[in-house]
Amino acid sequence: MARGAFFDLDKTLVPGSSLFLLARGLYERDFYRARDIARLAWGQFVFQLAGRESRAGMEKSRNAALEFVKGRRADELRSLGREIAEERVLPRVYEDIARVIAQHREAGDETWLMTAAPQELAEIVAAGLGMTGARGTISEIDADGRYTGELVGEIAHGPAKAKIAEEIAGTRGIDMRESAAYSDSINDLPLLESVGQPHAVNPDHALRRIARARGWPVHELRTRRRALLIGVPSAVGGAALFGAGVTLGVWAGRRRPRA
């Protein structure tokens, strides 16, 4: 059977929120007003405070994001999204994790981006990194090509993300026991537990505790110190990767220094 490697996006591949980077790019193109950005920011803030424990927090975040695109033409947002992703998101991908993706690909593994971010953004980022594919949160589009403000299926978050990964594995003949997953968040524990080679990347406190207790590799890419990443799957060749860069504020607009 084939092997797979599943990667989270926000704080795993890039510092901060990819959705905020997209929103800022749209704002600077006069596509949205400041109050639209503020509503989206509030929904994301509530999720960061309560989303991990509260269904209401996740609903608040979801509704803010759906309202953000409601009534907009999907083709227009997709075109701008590609431009903004190339300008703001892809340059911020940690070089270390981009190298891990490349090594999985060279070893013959399928590489999948798994994120609660919009499907359109996920596809653009995955294509830019040469990944097999992406699964994000899918928004409904009406017959006129405009977003309705409703979802198609679930938010690709928590247990739903693990379920999507298993569906991909079943469709493409991937052996999850031989596969790897990379994430920063305790929310992705179901995904990490579903594979044979889980990796905690820039982990939050809860995930760091679990990873250490279970002997999972912990990869810290947010500091300037060099950190040998131990436990990279044998298919990747046991390569040593080096941490580089510091977390960026999405509103600062600064590109991270090259390692």
Active-site residues, by number, are: 8, 10
Assign residue 244 a region (left: φ > 0; alpha: ψ between -120 and 50; beta: otherwise).
beta
Nearby residues of 141 by Cβ (< 8 Å), 6 or more positions away: 74, 147, 148
Burial class (CB in 10 A: 0-12, 13-18, 19+), 29: exposed
Burial class (CB in 10 A: 0-12, 13-18, 19+), 33: exposed
Spatial distance between the Cα atoms of 66 and 139, rounded to a whole number of angstroms: 8
Cα dihedral angle (164, 71, 120, 80), rounded to 10 degrees?
-170
DSSP per residue over 193-225, as a string? Answer: HTSSEEEEES--HHHHHHHHHHT--EE--SSSS
Spatial distance between the Cα atoms of 184 and 9, rounded to a whole number of angstroms: 9
Q: Where in 19-132 does DSSP place strands (E)?
A: 110-118
Burial class (CB in 10 A: 0-12, 13-18, 19+), 226: exposed
Token couple for 77: 């947002």
